[in-house]
C-alpha cells in the first residue's frame, strides 16, 4: 500500500500517527539484534518504517535486505531511502527493480550527502544531480507504481544560505511528482508550524510529516546541532547544560521535550511525526507511552523499567556469553542507556550511529583545501594532526569538532606522538573511580564511580609500523592492540581462551561504571568485529579526502599512496592504575 494513502487517511480522521526510521547496522550481530527490535516496535503500530541508504550505495544490499524483512516478514509498510549522489544509472535501476520485486512500493528520493567538489560530484547518467532529477526519473520509468517521498528543510538546507531560493527548490521537488514530505529533524515546534503553514500557502498539498529525534545523549545532540545548524530553543539548551553529566537526566529531558513538541504540533493540526530511532527503542517507547499513542499493548521491559536510576547489564551478557531472557533484557537496556557510538558494543543494533568517523567529509573541495591544506609529503600530514591537537585547526577529515574536554589533559602527549608521525584519530585518558557526576568525565546515574582504560588509536606509516608493533607485543598482556591496513590484513594480541587464533579474538572493556544497588555497567567495548567495521570507514575517509583534489594531482597521488601504506592501530593499556604508562609505547 502507498504510504501517501495511509497518511491522507490518518490526516482526514485527525488521528495521531507515527513512523520509525532505522539504519542498516554495521555488523551482522547488530543486524540480527535489530530484527528482534523491529519486531517488538512493529507491535506499536507505526504507519510505516523507513530504512536509510548509505552514500554512494555503500549500504545498498543491507538496506534492501532490511527493507525486505520489514515489508515481508514483519508486515510493516516500508519506505526505502534512495540517494543519487555518486550513484550511476545502473545502480539506481537495480535498486528500484529489487525494491519492486520485494514488494516495496515507497521510496524516499534524496540527493545524498554533500558532494566533494565539482570534479567529483558525480551525476548519474541522465542528469541525476539532485533529488528532483531522481523523482522525475522514477516517475518516467515506473509511472505511479512507486509512492515517492522527498525531504523538506524548515530552516533551509545548510548548503544554501538563501532560504527563499531553497524553498523554491523544495517546491520543485514536490511538483516533480512527490507524494509526501518528511522534514529534517526539528527541535523548535514553532519553526516547523510556520514552515508547514508556508508550504500550504504556496499550494503544496501533499502530506508533510515532521522529523523528530528524541535526545539520546548530550554529546550526540551537541554534534547533531553543530552539523545541521538546526534551531534549538534556548530553554532546552540551558537545561541540557545543567543535566549533561547525568546520562539518564539527559534522556529524561529528551523524552520530555519530544512529548511537549508532539503535543504542540497536534494542537496546530499536525498529527503525525516521523521518529528517527538511531535503532534504539527505549526513548521512543517512552515518548509514545506518554502521548498514549501506539496499539501494541503493554510496553516491553525495556521501557517499563526505564527509571531515573539508570540501567544494568549482567556480567555474562557483557562478556558475550549466553543469556537468558532476563539477561537479554538487561543487555538491550544497556545498549539504549549508553549508546556511546564509536566505542559501543558491536552487538548493539545502534553500534556506530553517533560518533563515527563518517565516510563523507563535511567540506567541499575548496573548504577542504582551505582548512587541511594541500598535503604532498608525510610532514604535511604530521603538521595537520599537530595543528588539530593544539587547537589551531578546527577539524580533521576524521573528526568534525575540536578535541573534547576530557582529551585536553592529553594534549602534550598527543602533540608529542603526532610529531613523531603517529597520527591520532581517537584517544581517552585512564580513570580510576571518578565520580559519575564529574563535569568532564562523568556518566551514568548519580552516586556512582566510573573507570576507563587509556587508549590511543592512530594511523602509523609503514616505516614506523614494524618497530611499533614489536614494542606493543613486548608489553603484553598489559598492552592490548588491534591493527589493520587498507588491504584487510589484521593483527591483534587480544585472544580469548588462551588461543592465538584470530577467530578467538576477545573483547576488551574500555569503560565501566559502578553505581549504588547495581551490577557493573560495561557499555564500551572493542573487539575484532567493531574494530574492522571502523577500519573500513577510516580508510574510506582517506579516499574521500583524496577526491578533493583533481585526478592525478600530486595531492591525490600522495593521499592515495599514504592510505595504501599505513596501518590503523588501536592501543589499550589495561593497567588503568598507571594513567601515563601508555605513552611509553610511542
Report pLDDT digits (tens) over 136-182.
999 999 999 999 999 999 988 766 677 788 899 999 999 999 999 99
Mean pLDDT of 117-126: 48
DSSP 144: T
Query: How much is the pLDDT for 336?
Result: 54
Length of the chain: 586
**Cis status, amide bond into 252, omega within 30 of 0:** no
User: Cell for 204?
Assistant: 503544496
Question: Torsion angle of alpha carbons 241, 246, 250, 252, nearest 10°?
Answer: -140
pLDDT in tens, 31-75: 888 998 999 999 999 999 999 987 666 778 889 999 999 998 999
Within 488-571, where are the H helices?
Answer: 528-546, 554-565
Q: So which residues are the catalytic ones? A: 21
Mean pLDDT of 226-255: 88
Query: Kind of pairing, strands 449-452 and 78-83?
Result: unpaired
Mean pLDDT of 449-465: 95
Q: Distance between CA atoms of 121 and 572, rounded to whole angstroms?
A: 39
352: confidence class by pLDDT, cuts 50, 70, 90: low
CA distances from 419 to 30, 369, 383 (A): 38, 22, 8
DSSP 245: T
Coil, strand or helix at 86: coil
Looking at the chain, the whole-number percentage of residues with pLDDT higher than 70 is 83
Per-residue pLDDT for 331 more than 60?
no
Query: How much is the pLDDT for 299?
Result: 37
Mean pLDDT of 557-565: 96
Query: How much is the pLDDT for 505?
Result: 62
Per-residue pLDDT for 253 more than 80?
yes
Q: Distance between CA atoms of 431 and 469, rounded to whole angstroms?
A: 25
- Tell which wins on pLDDT, 503 or 506: 506
341: confidence class by pLDDT, cuts 50, 70, 90: very low
Please list the residues that pair with 512 across neighbouring strands: 451
Least confident range from 51-60, 226-235, 484-493, 539-548: namely: 51-60
Question: What φ, ψ does residue 141 adopt, rounded to 5°?
Answer: -95, -30
Mean pLDDT of 439-449: 86
Query: How much is the pLDDT for 356?
Result: 41
Q: Distance between CA atoms of 181 and 89, rounded to whole angstroms?
A: 24
Q: Distance between CA atoms of 245 and 532, rounded to whole angstroms?
A: 31
Within 229-324, where are the H helices?
Answer: 234-243, 247-267, 282-291, 301-304, 315-318
Cβ atoms 109, 98 nearer than 8 A: no
Query: How much is the pLDDT for 380?
Result: 97
Mean pLDDT of 78-95: 85
User: Cell for 47?
Assistant: 504507519
Mean pLDDT of 548-556: 92
Burial (CB count <10 Å: 0-12, 13-18, 19+), residue 455: buried
244: confidence class by pLDDT, cuts 50, 70, 90: confident
- Tell which wins on pLDDT, 6 or 219: 6
Q: Distance between CA atoms of 467 and 471, rounded to whole angstroms?
A: 6
195: confidence class by pLDDT, cuts 50, 70, 90: very high
Per-residue pLDDT for 397 more than 60?
yes
Mean confidence (pLDDT) of the chain: 83
DSSP 515: -
Cβ atoms 543, 358 nearer than 8 A: no
Per-residue pLDDT for 357 more than 50?
no
Q: Which residue has the cell 576477545?
A: 506
Q: Which residues lie closer than 8 Å to 221 by C-beta, 6 or more apart?
A: 215, 240, 250, 254
Angle between helices 89-101 and 131-142 (to 10 degrees): 50
Coil, strand or helix at 207: coil
349: confidence class by pLDDT, cuts 50, 70, 90: confident
Amino acid at each position: 500500500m502507498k504510504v501517501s494513502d495511509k497518511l491522507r487517511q490518518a490526516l482526514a480522521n485527525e488521528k495521531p500517527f507515527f513512523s520509525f526510521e532505522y539504519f542498516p547496522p554495521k555488523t551482522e550481530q547488530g543486524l540480527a539484534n535489530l530484527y528482534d527490535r523491529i519486531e517488538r516496535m512493529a507491535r506499536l503500530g507505526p504507519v510505516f518504517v523507513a530504512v536509510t541508504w548509505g552514500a554512494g550505495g555503500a549500504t545498498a544490499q543491507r538496506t534492501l535486505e532490511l527493507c525486505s524483512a520489514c515489508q515481508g516478514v514483519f508486515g510493516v509498510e516500508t519506505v526505502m531511502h534512495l540517494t543519487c549522489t555518486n550513484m550511476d544509472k545502473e545502480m539506481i535501476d537495480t535498486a528500484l527493480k529489487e525494491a519492486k520485486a520485494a514488494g516495496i512500493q515507497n521510496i524516499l528520493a534524496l540527493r545524498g550527502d554533500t558532494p566533494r567538489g565539482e570534479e567529483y560530484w558525480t551525476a548519474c547518467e541522465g542528469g541525476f544531480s539532485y533529488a528532483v532529477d531522481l523523482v522525475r526519473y522514477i516517475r518516467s520509468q515506473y509511472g505511479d507504481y512507486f509512492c515517492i517521498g522527498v525531504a523538506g528543510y524548515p530552516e533551509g538546507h545548510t548548503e544554501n544560505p538563501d532560504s527563499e531560493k531553497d524553498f523554491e527548490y523544495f517546491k520543485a521537488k514536490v511538483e516533480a511528482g512527490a507524494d509526501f514530505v518528511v522534514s529534517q529533524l526539528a527541535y523548535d515546534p514553532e519553526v516547523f508550524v510556520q514552515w508547514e503553514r508556508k508550504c500550504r500557502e504556496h499550494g503544496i498539498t501533499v502530506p508533510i510529516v515532521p522529523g523528530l529525534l528524541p535526545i539520546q545523549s548530550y554529546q550526540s545532540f551537541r554534534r547533531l546541532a553543530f552539523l545541521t545548524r538546526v534551531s534549538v530553543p534556548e530553554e532546552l539548551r540551558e537545561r541540557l547544560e545543567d543535566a549533561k553529566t547525568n546520562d539518564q537526566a539527559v534522556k529524561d529531558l529528551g523524552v520530555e521535550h519530544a512529548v511537549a513538541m508532539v503535543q504542540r504540533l497536534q494542537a496546530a493540526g499536525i498529527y503525525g511525526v516521523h521518529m528517527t530511532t538511531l535503532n534504539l527503542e527505549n526513548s521512543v517507547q517512552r515518548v509514545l507511552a506518554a502521548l498514549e499513542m501506539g496499539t501494541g499493548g503493554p510496553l516491553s521491559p525495556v521501557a517499563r523499567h526505564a527509571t531515573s536510576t539508570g540501567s544494568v547489564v549482567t556480567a555474562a551478557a557483557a562478556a558475550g556469553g549466553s543469556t537468558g531472557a532476563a539477561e537479554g533484557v538487561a543487555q538491550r537496556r544497556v545498549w539504549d542507556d549508553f549508546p556511546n557510538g564509536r566505542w559501543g558494543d558491536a552487538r548493539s543494533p545502534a553500534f556506530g550511529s553517533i560518533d563515527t568517523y563518517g565516510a563523507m567529509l563535511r567540506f567541499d573541495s575548496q573548504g577542504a583545501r582551505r582548512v587541511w591544506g594541500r598535503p604532498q609529503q608525510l610532514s604535511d600530514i604530521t603538521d595537520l594532526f599537530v595543528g588539530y591537537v593544539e587547537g589551531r585547526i578546527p577539524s580533521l577529515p576524521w573528526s568534525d569538532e575540536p578535541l573534547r574536554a576530557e582529551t585536553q589533559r592529553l594534549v602534550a602527549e598527543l602533540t608529542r606522538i603526532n610529531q613523531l608521525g603517529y597520527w591520532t584519530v581517537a584517544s581517552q585518558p585512564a580513570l580510576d573511580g571518578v565520580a559519575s557526576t564529574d563535569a568532564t568525565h562523568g556518566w551514568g546515574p548519580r552516586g556512582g564511580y566510573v573507570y576507563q582504560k587509556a587508549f590511543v588509536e592512530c594511523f602509523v606509516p609503514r616505516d614506523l609500523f614494524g618497530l611499533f608493533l614489536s614494542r606493543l607485543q613486548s608489553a603484553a598482556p598489559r598492552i592490548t592492540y588491534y591493527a589493520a591496513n587498507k588491504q584487510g590484513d589484521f593483527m591483534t594480541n587480544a585472544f580469548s581462551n588462551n588461543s592465538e587464533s584470530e577467530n578467538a579474538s576477545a573483547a576488551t572493556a574500555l569503560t565501566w561504571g559502578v553505581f549504588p544497588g547495581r551490577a557493573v555497567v560495561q557499555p564500551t567495548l572493542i573487539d575484532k568485529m567493531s574494530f574492522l567495521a571502523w577500519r573500513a570507514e577510516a580508510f574510506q575517509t582517506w579516499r574521500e579526502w583524496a577526491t578533493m583534489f583533481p585526478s592525478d594531482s600530486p595531492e591525490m597521488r600522495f593521499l592515495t599512496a599514504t592510505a595504501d601504506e599505513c596501518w590503523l592501530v588501536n592501543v589499550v593499556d589495561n593497567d588503568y592504575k598507571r594513567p601515563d604508562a601508555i605513552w611509553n609505547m610511542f
